[in-house]
Structure 1
Amino acid sequence: MSNKSSDLSIEMYHRLYRLIKRKIDPRSIAATLNLPLKTVTNVISRIEQTGNQKDQPEVTVETPEFLDIYFIPKIRYGLIQLVGNLIAPKLEQVQIELEKVANAPWKAVALQLTDVQSIDSEASAMLMSFNQRFAKIGRFFAILDPSPYIEDDLKDLGIDGSIPIFGTERAFEDAAFSKKSVFNKR
């Protein structure tokens, strides 16, 4: 049975699309996402076919208070995926989810910010506070794959130096669970 491009998850399509728009070589995309090269080239050709209609300016509707939170339990860690804007009016939702994860048995927690459009100073202060709290109870807290929209904000707000940031789940797992990791002291 072959892996057809129609069998891919929505998340995989999003990752493919981001890498294609960054003009990454298809072979590198295939290797990074662990997909057959033929699948990647098929998706690229479909995007290029529909991409010709993109000559018109993109119309976006701004919803400054939009934030969806998804909790994805993994075997060894918890993953919280945020989609939208990580700003003060929505921090109560995020705090509730982080509290739930803090009381759960996972040793490590990743906060996936791939689809976050903006972050403000209140949100960064809350994330740094939770990072310190997780460290006090011997748990690993990190940011996973931040979107290009917030990369500069993460540096400006001081998150970049205080909370570990990883580009892939694999790198996150290696840091959280390797025997050489400073976070793996028992």
Structure 2
Amino acid sequence: MTYTHGFDPVPGDIKAIVAQAANRVMVNPGAVRSETVGGESVTYLIPATGEALGVLLSRAERRGLRPTGAGRARTGAGPLMLYTQSIAILRAPVVEDDYGNEKADWADPVRLPVDGVNVQPAGGSTEDPEGKQVTVSGWRLYTPRGMDLDLRETDRVEAWGTTMQVVGKVARWPAPGGGVHHVEADLREVD
């Protein structure tokens, strides 16, 4: 495909949406919605307005084409987000305890500063271990399109003076054409 307007270079997510739309036209050039062989019935995909059918984009494709600007980026079909927050990834060295077992030593973790991410509240819960009332707040970390992050499931994240543990796997979403589209990670506050 030849792109004559817009971004130079054209971002991979836009190329993917254009390729999907072109593929729909190539696979179904007559815009047939349904066919019946016995009795010969054909139904065409015509918009409710009755206008001539061009190349239509799905809702997800339209959301993926939302505009971007300074400090903003698309996350595919997700909402438009600001990526202006700075965090520190905390990585504990592994030490051996008195019994010869390996454990993380959080007394003096390595601090890896990271700029240009988004951390948002993602719900919370209340637990009652051993008769204590503890509030656990959930957060979600996002990177902008094209940004990979050296974040491991054993790491912690510090933002706004709050320390949070990575919960579960770090999601590295693949980009069309290779690489990482963006990274997401669930976080939970720790003492």
Instruction: Please indicate, yes or no, whether the TM-score normalized by the shorter chain is above 0.5.
Output: no
Q: TM-score, normalised by structure 2?
A: 0.26
Q: TM-score, normalised by structure 1?
A: 0.26
Bigger fraction of residues in helix:
1
Which one has the largest radius of gyration? 2
